[in-house]
Amino acid sequence: MYSFKNDYSEGAHPKILNALIESNLEQEDGYGEDRYTQKTVELLKEKLGRTDVDIHLISGGTQTNLIAISAFLRPHEAAIAASTGHIFTHETGAIEATGHKILSVEVEDGKLTPSHLQGVLDYHTDEHMVKPKLVYISNSTEIGSIYKKDDLKQLSEFCHQNNLILYMDGARLGSALCSDENDLSMEDIPSLVDAFYIGGTKNGALIGEALVICRDSLKDDFRFHMKQKGALLAKGRLLGIQFLELFKDNLFFDLAKNANRMAGMIRDELLKENIKFLTHSPSNQIFPILPNSVISELQENYSFHIWEKVDSNYSAIRIVTSWATKEDVVIAFITDLKKVLSNLVTK
Amino acid sequence: MYSFKNDYSEGAHPKILNALIESNLEQEDGYGEDRYTQKTVELLKEKLGRTDVDIHLISGGTQTNLIAISAFLRPHEAAIAASTGHIFTHETGAIEATGHKILSVEVEDGKLTPSHLQGVLDYHTDEHMVKPKLVYISNSTEIGSIYKKDDLKQLSEFCHQNNLILYMDGARLGSALCSDENDLSMEDIPSLVDAFYIGGTKNGALIGEALVICRDSLKDDFRFHMKQKGALLAKGRLLGIQFLELFKDNLFFDLAKNANRMAGMIRDELLKENIKFLTHSPSNQIFPILPNSVISELQENYSFHIWEKVDSNYSAIRIVTSWATKEDVVIAFITDLKKVLSNLVTK
Amino acid sequence: MYSFKNDYSEGAHPKILNALIESNLEQEDGYGEDRYTQKTVELLKEKLGRTDVDIHLISGGTQTNLIAISAFLRPHEAAIAASTGHIFTHETGAIEATGHKILSVEVEDGKLTPSHLQGVLDYHTDEHMVKPKLVYISNSTEIGSIYKKDDLKQLSEFCHQNNLILYMDGARLGSALCSDENDLSMEDIPSLVDAFYIGGTKNGALIGEALVICRDSLKDDFRFHMKQKGALLAKGRLLGIQFLELFKDNLFFDLAKNANRMAGMIRDELLKENIKFLTHSPSNQIFPILPNSVISELQENYSFHIWEKVDSNYSAIRIVTSWATKEDVVIAFITDLKKVLSNLVTK
Amino acid sequence: MYSFKNDYSEGAHPKILNALIESNLEQEDGYGEDRYTQKTVELLKEKLGRTDVDIHLISGGTQTNLIAISAFLRPHEAAIAASTGHIFTHETGAIEATGHKILSVEVEDGKLTPSHLQGVLDYHTDEHMVKPKLVYISNSTEIGSIYKKDDLKQLSEFCHQNNLILYMDGARLGSALCSDENDLSMEDIPSLVDAFYIGGTKNGALIGEALVICRDSLKDDFRFHMKQKGALLAKGRLLGIQFLELFKDNLFFDLAKNANRMAGMIRDELLKENIKFLTHSPSNQIFPILPNSVISELQENYSFHIWEKVDSNYSAIRIVTSWATKEDVVIAFITDLKKVLSNLVTK
C-alpha cells in the first residue's frame, strides 16, 4: 500500500537528519536563541532580499496561523478567508478560540480577489458587526491553485488602500513557487504581503514553519505571543537547524520541484486519458475525477483522500506528492491506473 | 564555556536520533495516528500498569499545560499553583490567555500542601470570585524539591474530597522519580493524580511530553483541544518515535539518573565546603549560595543562571545537569570551584 | 417624524416605571438577591408550569446570548445558527470573542430545520474541525417568522437524538407567542428547548431578559458566568421589579399583542394594495417591498430601516411596531402610504 | 433591620426617576445614539474641561473594567493592581476571562505607588513572562482610602515614563472627590490618567458608569468592544437620562457629600469612643474594629459586612453609607452603638 494521502507521510530529508546529528552535542541556548536559528534568520533575510523583516520559527501551520492572527488583530477585528481556507474549517476553530471571527467567502478556485474583499467590507458597516481587518490567503491553496504575481499585486493594493493586513499561509509555498505556472519569486513576497510563512513540514522538514513579518507595526513583542501560545520550543535549535539545511543550498526548492514534477507526471497522463479534474492545479496536489469503481480498485494498492462526490458515479480524489515521492512509484501508479481505466472501457 | 544553564542545551540522546533515521522513509499517518505513537501509548500504559488512561504526545511543557488546563476547566474555574509554579509567572500568561485565573500560594519549598489548598478554598466563597478547581503541582518542582509518595497521597485525598482536579507537571518527572529521596513509582502516579505529563524535552528528547489523563471525565474529545491549540503535529511520528525509544529499554530512567548523579556530585562537594543551598534539592537542579566574587570568577568558564540575590555579598545560582552532562566536565567544574573558593579564603 | 425603526424607541410601559417608583426606597440586597427578583423567578416558574428550571435576569440580548452560550459549551464546541441569526452577524463577534465558532446555515425563512442540522453534523466528522454542539434559534426570527409547535418539536427531537443543546433567543418571544399563527404556549417551551430567554427590552421593559435554563446539566454555577461577564447588576432589583410587573397581570402578553396588532393593520392594508413582502411575517416586524420613490417620500415623515435592495427600482423596508405604537399613528401611516402609492399610479 | 451593607441598597434618586418618566414616551435612537446620551457626553466634557476626551456610558463597574482593559491591552500584556483591587479578586476572573493576567501587589492602604510599579517592572524582564502594561487603581479604594492629587501625579509621571496605561476605577469617585481630605478636582483627572470611569450605580443612579478615555491611542473603535461584550444597551437612553440628571445641577456631588457626611458622623462618634479603625478612610466606607459581642448585638437591628477577623475577640466591620442614608437613621445607629458599647463596659 502506497500513500498519496499527503506530503507529510515520511520523516525528513536525510540531509536534515544529518544536520541534526552533526550538531547534536553542541550546547545551545534555548527558545530560539541558539546560533542555528540566528543563522537561519539571517540566511532567510538574504534570500528574501530584505534585512528589515522579522522572522520566527514555529512548529506547525495551525500554531503559526493562530499566533500570527491573534497577535495582529485587536479583539473586535476579524479575518477574511475563502471558505476553502484552512483556518476556516480545518483548524478546529483555532482562530475563534483566540476570540476572532472568520468571515468566509465562497470562491471557485480557492483564491480571494479584491472584489470578494470589497463585498465583505461593504457588508460590515458599523459596530454591531466585527471589523474586517486581516485577509488570509494560502499559496498554494488548499485545492492546489496558486496566486500569480498579478493576483497578489491586486490584493496587496486593495489591502493597502483599505487598511487591511494581508497574510499568506505558505504551508505549501515551496510547491507554489516551483510551479510551472508561477511567476512569483521569494524576493517579491515581502513587498506584497504584510506577513507570511514558509512551510517546512510539508516540504521535507520534520516540523517547522518560518513566519516572516514584513509590516513594521506587526513586529513588536512577537516572541511574547509565541511563548504565550506554547510555541517557543526549549530546543528551538530543532527548527533552526532544519531551516538552515533547507535554505543553505536550495534544498527547499529542489524538494518542492520533485513534488511538483511527480504530480505533473500523473496529471499529464490523466489528461491524455481525458480524465477531468475538479480544479486547475499546477502544484503538488491534484484532484482527478474518477469513476467510483476505478477509485475502489485503486484503493487496493494506494491510499488517498476521496475529496468530494461529483455525482452518483464519479468522485474527485486528492493525490498529493511530496519531496519523498519517487519516480518509480509514480510510474507504477500511472500504469496501474491506466490498467484499471482500460478494464473499465472493455467491461 | 560550559553551560549549566538548563537541561535542554544539547539535542537528543543518540539512540533517539538513530530511531528517527531508521524509521525515516516509512510512510505513516499524520497527526498522531502513526504506528509509533500508537505503540508508544501502549507501552506507556504498560509501564503505568493501567490500560484505562488516555495518553497524548505534545511538543512542549507550556503547550501541554495550557491545553490540559483549558480543556479541563469551565470558564469560571481557576487553577491553584505555588507562586513558584511554572505556569504562574514563567509561561507569559498562557493559562490566563485561555481565560482562567491562577490563584497563587506563597510556599517555602515549591510544594503545595492540603493546608495551602484549604486556605484558598476558604477564601473563595461565592460567585463574585473565581471557583478554585484545579491544583497545579510540578514534580520535581521549579526549585528542585520533589513530592514524596505521602505528600501526593495527602494532596490526592484532599482534592478528591473537595472535588478538585490534581494535575502534575512532569517536565522533570524523570529526575524526580530517580532521586535518591524518591519513594514514588510510575505505577503509583495514575491513582494519585487526575492528569500528569511525563517530560521528554528535558530528559533527552528533541521535543515532546506525554500527557496522561487518568480521570475519565477529563478524557473526552481531548484531540479537539490539541488541534485547536496547534498541538497536533502533522508528523506526530516525531513524538511517537522518541518516546518509544525513551521507554522501550528504560532509557528515560537511565538519562534521569545521569542528570541526578551529576548534580549530586556537585552538591556533595559543595556541602563538604560548607556551602549553603537556597533549597533542599535532591534532583537535577541545585541552588548553591556563593559569594558574588566566586560567581564572577566561575562565569569566566561556565554559564548558569543567577537565581536570587541573598544579601549584598551572596547570591544563589542555579546549576542544572542533564542526561548529557559528562562526569569529566563535572569533575573539572568541582575542581575549578574549589580553587576559586580556596583563593577566596587565602585572600 | 415617527419612527418604525425598532421596538425599543420608547422607554418602558408606565406600569413598570410606577413599580420602580413605588419600590424605590426599599432596601434590597444586591446582585439579583433582592426580593423582587426572587418573586419574579417564582412567578415565571409558575407561568412556565415548571419548578425545576433555573431563571436568571440579564440586561440585554447580546449579553444573555454570550453568557449562556459560553457557559454551555466546552472550548472546542460550536454553535449552529441560521445565517440570519442575530449572533452570527449582528453581535460584533460576541460568541467568537468567548472562543466559539458559529457554524452558519443559509436558510430561506430565518428558521432552522433538522435537515439543516444534519448537514452540519455530516460535514463535521473529526477533531480537525469544531464539534457542533449548540443550536441557536430565534423566535420570532430576525425576519419576522415564527417557529410553530411542530417545528420546535422536530428540532427538539433531533437535538435530543444527536446530543445537541437547543437554545432559543426570545428577544421577541412575546410577539411570537401572541402571533395569530402561533400554536405554542409558554408552558410548552421548557420541554422543547434546553434553554431560552424571554425578552423584556423589546416588549416594554427598560432593560432585561429572563434566561430560563431547563436542562439540569447546564445549570451549575451559572451566576459565576454572569458575574464574570459583568452581568450581575448591583441593583438587580431593576430587572426583578420590571419582570414582576410584566408577568403578574399578563402585561407582557398585552404589550406583545398590541405590537402584533399594529403590524397586522399595516400588513393587511398593504396586501390589499397588492404590495409584496420579502418574508412571511406574522409578528411585529414586516418587510414590505416598495418602489424606491415611495420609500423616499415616506422617509419625509417616517423613519425605518431599508432592509435590502430587491432590484433597481424596488427595496424591502423593515417596519417594526411595538407595545408603544398607537393606533392613530398606524392609521396615519397607512393613509400616507396609500396616498403615496396612488400618486405613483397616477403619475 | 437597616442595612449599611452597601451603597446600592435603594433604587435611584427621585430626580432621576422623574427624568425617566418625563422622557419616557419620546422616541429615541438605540444603542447610545439617543439625544440624552449625546447631551450627557457634551455636559461631562464641559465638567471635565476637555472636549477631546471620548465618553461612553456602560451599565456597571465589572463590565466597564473588563471592556476597557481588554480593549486597551494586546494579548500578552497584563494589568497591575493592588491585591485589594476589585478586579483582582472580586470580579470572578473577568479580566483573565478576556485573556489577561493581573499582577497583584500587596499594599497597606489600598493604594499603588511608583515604587510598587517599579518592583513589578523589575521582575518582568523578558518574553517568558507577561508584559506589565496597564495600572489599575480605584478611587476611592476598596478600603475607603483616597488618592490625593500628588499621589496621582506621581503615578501619572511614572506611567508616562514607563509607557504604562493608567486606568482609574471610579465606582466611588463621587465619594472620593467629595471627601474632606480630597484636593483633586474633576478637571484634574483627564490630564493625570489615561482612562477612568465616573460611577453612577453607587452614587444614586439605577445603573450606569461613564467611562472617559483621555489618551488618544485608546479611543479607536471603542463601541465595537462595547457591543462585543454585550454593553450597548438597546435603550441606551436609560444611561444618558440618568447621567444628565446627575450632572446638570451637581446632584452627583450633592449625593456623594451626603454619603460622606453620614459616614463621617459615625466615624467621629466612634473615634470619641476610642474605637480603632482597620484603615484610614475619609470616604463613605469605614471599617471600625469592634468586639465580636458588640457586632452580634448590632446585627440584631443592622446589617453590614464583617470584613476581617482582627483577633479572637475583635473584628473589623464595614459600614457603607450612601446618597440615600438619612441622618435620623445614622443618629439612631450611633445611639444604639453607644448603648451596646457602654453595656460592654459595665458588664
Name the DSSP class of C31: T
Q: Is D2-6+257-346 CATH 3.40.50.720?
A: no
Residue B346 confidence (pLDDT) above 90: no
Chain B residue whose CA is closest to A221: B92
What is the C-alpha to C-alpha distance for residues B339 and B345, in angstroms, rounded to an integer?
10
Q: Which candidate from A93, A100, A128 shows the least CB-CB separation from C78?
A: A93
Q: Which candidate from A2, A12, A233 shows the least CB-CB separation from B207?
A: A233
Instruction: Tell me the chain A residues in contact with residue B233 when contact means C-beta distances shorter than 8 Å.
Output: 59-60, 201, 207
- Output the CA torsion sign for C70, C75, C77, C80: positive
Please, where are the H alpha helices in D98-230? 114-123, 149-161, 173-177, 189-192, 222-228
What are the angstrom distances between the C-alpha of C134 and each of A129, C121, C186? 21, 11, 22
Q: Three cell numbers at B102?
A: 491562577
The dihedral region occupied by A245, where left means phi > 0, alpha psi between -120 and 50, and beta the remainder, is alpha
Please, where are the H alpha helices in C180-326? 189-192, 222-228, 237-248, 251-272, 292-298
What is the C-alpha to C-alpha distance for residues D341 and C228, in angstroms, rounded to an integer?
41
Say if residues D227 and C90 touch (Cβ distance below 8 Å): no
| CB within 8 Å: C228 and D23 | no
Report the pLDDT value the prediction gives residue C347, as an integer from 0 to 100.
59
Q: How far is D310 from chain C (nearest CA, A)?
A: 26
Probe site for chain A from B4, B224, B229 (most A CB atoms < 10 A): B229
Report the pLDDT value the prediction gives residue B296, as an integer from 0 to 100.
96
Probe site for chain D from B69, B91, B92, B308 (most D CB atoms < 10 A): B92
Please, where are the H alpha helices in D162-250? 173-177, 189-192, 222-228, 237-248
Quote the Cα angle for D289-D292-D293, to 5°: 125
DSSP H or E run through B135: strand B131-138
Instruction: Band the pLDDT of C343: cuts 50, 70, 90.
Output: confident
Instruction: Band the pLDDT of B73: cuts 50, 70, 90.
Output: very high
Say if residues C155 and C196 touch (Cβ distance below 8 Å): no
Residue with cell string 478600603? D143
Residue spans per domain, chain D:
2-6+257-346, 14-251
Instruction: Centre a 10 Å sphere on the Cβ of residue A62 and count the other Cβ atoms it contains.
Output: 29
**3-state SS, residue A284:** coil
Q: Three cell numbers at A180?
A: 510551472
Report the pLDDT value the prediction gives residue D345, as an integer from 0 to 100.
65
> Which tens digit of pLDDT belongs to each residue from A74-97?
999 999 999 999 999 999 999 999
Q: Three cell numbers at C122?
A: 455530516
Q: What is the mean pLDDT of residues C293-304?
A: 97
Kindly tell me the burial class for residue D272, based on how many C-beta atoms sit within 10 Å of its own C-beta (0-12, 13-18, 19 or more): exposed
Say if residues A88 and C84 touch (Cβ distance below 8 Å): no
> Which tens digit of pLDDT belongs to each residue from C259-292?
999 999 999 999 999 999 999 999 999 999 999 9
**What is the assigned CATH class of domain C14-251?**
alpha beta
CATH classification number, B14-249, choose in 3.40.50.720, 3.40.50.10490, 3.40.640.10, 3.90.1150.10: 3.40.640.10
Q: Which candidate from A92, A99, A127 shows the least CB-CB separation from C97?
A: A99
Say if residues B179 and B283 touch (Cβ distance below 8 Å): yes
Instruction: Tell me the chain A residues in contact with residue B318 when contact means C-beta distances shorter than 8 Å.
Output: none
Strand order in the sheet with A77-82: A54-58, A209-213, A195-199, A165-169, A131-138, A77-82, A102-105
DSSP string, A163-191: T-EEEEE-TTHHHHHTSTT----GGGHHH
- Domain C14-251 and domain C252-346, same fold? Reply is no
- What is the rounded (10 degree) CA torsion for D253, D256, D261, D262? 150
Amino acid at position C343, single letter:
N
Report the pLDDT value the prediction gives residue B343, as an integer from 0 to 100.
85
What number of CA atoms fall less than 13 Å from residue B190's CA on the CB side? 20
The phi, psi pair for C338, rounded to 5°, reads -60, -40
Amino acid at position D197, single letter:
Y
Q: How far is C123 from chain A (nearest CA, A)?
A: 10
> Which tens digit of pLDDT belongs to each residue from C227-267?
999 999 999 999 999 999 999 999 999 999 999 999 999 99
| CB within 8 Å: C100 and A96 | yes
| CB within 8 Å: A227 and D70 | no
Report the pLDDT value the prediction gives residue A343, as an integer from 0 to 100.
85
Instruction: Centre a 10 Å sphere on the Cβ of residue B323 and count the other Cβ atoms it contains.
Output: 25
Beta carbons within 8 Å of C192's beta carbon, 6+ residues apart: C152, C153, C155, C156, C166
Report the pLDDT value the prediction gives residue D281, as an integer from 0 to 100.
97
- Greatest alpha-carbon pair distance for chain C in Å reads 66
What number of CA atoms fall less than 13 Å from residue A53's CA on the CB side? 27
Say if residues D56 and D111 touch (Cβ distance below 8 Å): no
Beta carbons within 8 Å of B137's beta carbon, 6+ residues apart: B81, B82, B85, B111, B112, B147, B155, B166, B167, B168, B169
What is the C-alpha to C-alpha distance for residues D269 and C196, in angstroms, rounded to an integer?
53
> Which tens digit of pLDDT belongs to each residue from C3-62?
999 999 999 999 999 999 999 999 999 999 999 999 999 999 999 999 999 999 999 999
Report the pLDDT value the prediction gives residue B344, as an integer from 0 to 100.
79
What is the C-alpha to C-alpha distance for residues C233 and C225, in angstroms, rounded to an integer?
13
Q: Three cell numbers at D171?
A: 465606582
Report the pLDDT value the prediction gives residue C346, as an integer from 0 to 100.
65
Beta carbons within 8 Å of C102's beta carbon, 6+ residues apart: A101, C78, C79, C80, C81, C85, C87, C88, C95, C96, C136
The phi, psi pair for D195, rounded to 5°, reads -160, 150
Provide the residue count of chain B: 347
Q: Which candidate from A3, A24, A231 shows the least CB-CB separation from B10?
A: A24
Instruction: Tell me the chain C residues in contact with residue D65 when contact means C-beta distances shorter than 8 Å.
Output: 230
CATH T-level fold of B256-340: Aspartate Aminotransferase, domain 1 (3.90.1150)
Q: Based on C-alpha coordinates, what's the Rg of chain D? A: 21
Beta carbons within 8 Å of B4's beta carbon, 6+ residues apart: B302, B303, B304, B318, B319, B320, B321, B325, B333
> Which regions of chain D are under pLDDT 70?
345-347
What are the angstrom distances between the C-alpha of C305 and each of A65, C288, C310? 39, 11, 14
Instruction: Band the pLDDT of B208: cuts 50, 70, 90.
Output: very high
What is the C-alpha to C-alpha distance for residues B268 and C53, in angstroms, rounded to an integer?
66
What is the C-alpha to C-alpha distance for residues D234 and B175, in angstroms, rounded to an integer?
59
Beta carbons within 8 Å of D68's beta carbon, 6+ residues apart: D167, D195, D197, D211, D213
- Greatest alpha-carbon pair distance for chain D in Å reads 66
Probe site for chain A from B23, B37, B233, B321 (most A CB atoms < 10 A): B233
Probe site for chain B from D88, D101, D126 (most B CB atoms < 10 A): D101
* 3-state SS track over B42-108: HHHHHHHCCCCCEEEEECCHHHHHHHHHHHHCCCCEEEEEECCCHHHHCCCCHHHHCCCCEEEECCC
What is the C-alpha to C-alpha distance for residues D302 and D304, in angstroms, rounded to an integer?
7
Residue B345 confidence (pLDDT) above 80: no
Average pLDDT over chain C, rounded to an integer: 97
State the angle between helix axes of B237-248 and B14-22 in degrees (0 to 180), rounded to the nearest 10: 130
Write out chain A's pLDDT in tens, 347 residues: 999 999 999 999 999 999 999 999 999 999 999 999 999 999 999 999 999 999 999 999 999 999 999 999 999 999 999 999 999 999 999 999 999 999 999 998 999 999 999 999 999 999 999 999 999 999 999 999 999 999 999 999 999 999 999 999 999 999 999 999 999 999 999 999 999 999 999 999 999 999 999 999 999 999 999 999 999 999 999 999 999 999 999 999 999 999 999 999 999 999 999 999 999 999 999 999 999 999 999 999 999 999 999 999 999 999 999 999 999 999 999 999 999 999 876 66
What is the C-alpha to C-alpha distance for residues B4 and A330, in angstroms, rounded to an integer?
51
Instruction: Tell me the chain B residues in contact with residue A229 when contact means C-beta distances shorter than 8 Å.
Output: 63, 66, 94, 97, 229-230
CATH T-level fold of A252-346: Aspartate Aminotransferase, domain 1 (3.90.1150)
What is the C-alpha to C-alpha distance for residues A199 and A216, in angstroms, rounded to an integer?
22
Name the DSSP class of A315: E
